[in-house]
Amino acid sequence: MKTCTRCGAAFDGEGEICPHCRRELDEVARWTPHPPAADALVSAAGAAPPPTRPAPAQAEADRQGEAPPVSEPGGDDDDPEGVSRRRFLTNTALTVGGVVGVGYLALGLRYLFPNVSAAATPLQDVGPVSAFPPMSPTLATIVQDGVQDGVYVVNLSNGSNPAPGQLLALDFHCTHLNCPVTWYPGVAGVGRYICPCHGSQFTIQGAHVAGPAPRPMFRHQVVIRNGRVLVGGIIS
């Protein structure tokens, strides 16, 4: 038999206190709060911080029931280097496009408005006046800018002695894309210069009457000297 160290009662069993006192102590311990264990303190230290007050944009969106504004990733403010690269590529593309556009513009102006200085091409003998029958355009050859070129010499008189203004020298290139035109005497009963590339048509005096050509045929300087026909550069 043992004597309980708490209440003094005799009891059989292990320990220093009787079973009655043990139950009392267990019940007291059950309802007594204990300090948190060390593991619990560590977990609490790693937990998420308490919520903070929402930003003004978020608060305004919450009041209106709308989603807050979202910044796009990779925007201008996020990547200044990316902004500079895009601006550089854009400026480069615009510069190259401008140069190409000016080149095409210059080429078009060369077709539409060639060098009209008569002095650019010296007068060249293309034959006697008798070699050019009335109302029948005749193709002659001249050298222009070091290159062999063609002109239609047109005698608008009724004989072999045309007066000033009755002899024309028309450049044989179409004013659309510079293709060489051909004289067809039977077209529309009066004849036409016709471009084989896109179908532009011109009268015997070079006036534009059909097709995509933007202007009449170009005229060369022409002079009659000592019964000979001399042709120079483009004048109109």
Q: CA 83, 85, 87: angle at the middle one, nearest 5?
A: 70
Residue with tokens 């036409």, as numbered in its chain = 192
Contact in structure between 11 and 19 (CB atoms under 8 Å): yes
Contact in structure between 221 and 154 (CB atoms under 8 Å): no
| Helices and strands: H and E segment counts in the chain | 4, 12
Residue with tokens 């059909």, as numbered in its chain = 210
69-94 pLDDT, tens digit per residue, is 555 554 445 556 666 767 767 776 67
How far is Cα of residue 174 from the mean position of the Cα atoms in its chain?
A: 31
Segments in the chain below pLDDT 70: 28, 31-83, 85, 88, 92-93, 95-120
Helix or strand (DSSP H, E) at 112: helix 80-112
Nearest partner of 192 among 152, 163, 133, judged by Cα: 152
**Continuous H helices in 65-206:** 80-112
What's the predicted TM-score (pTM) here? 0.52
**Domain ranges across the chain:** 2-41, 118-234
Amino acid, single-letter form, for residue 118: A
Nearest partner of 152 among 185, 181, 191, judged by Cα: 181
Which fold, 118-234? Rieske Iron-sulfur Protein (2.102.10)
- Rounded Cα distance between 131 and 120, Å, is 26
pLDDT in the model for residue 125: 96
Structural tokens at position 30: 């059950």
pLDDT in the model for residue 187: 86
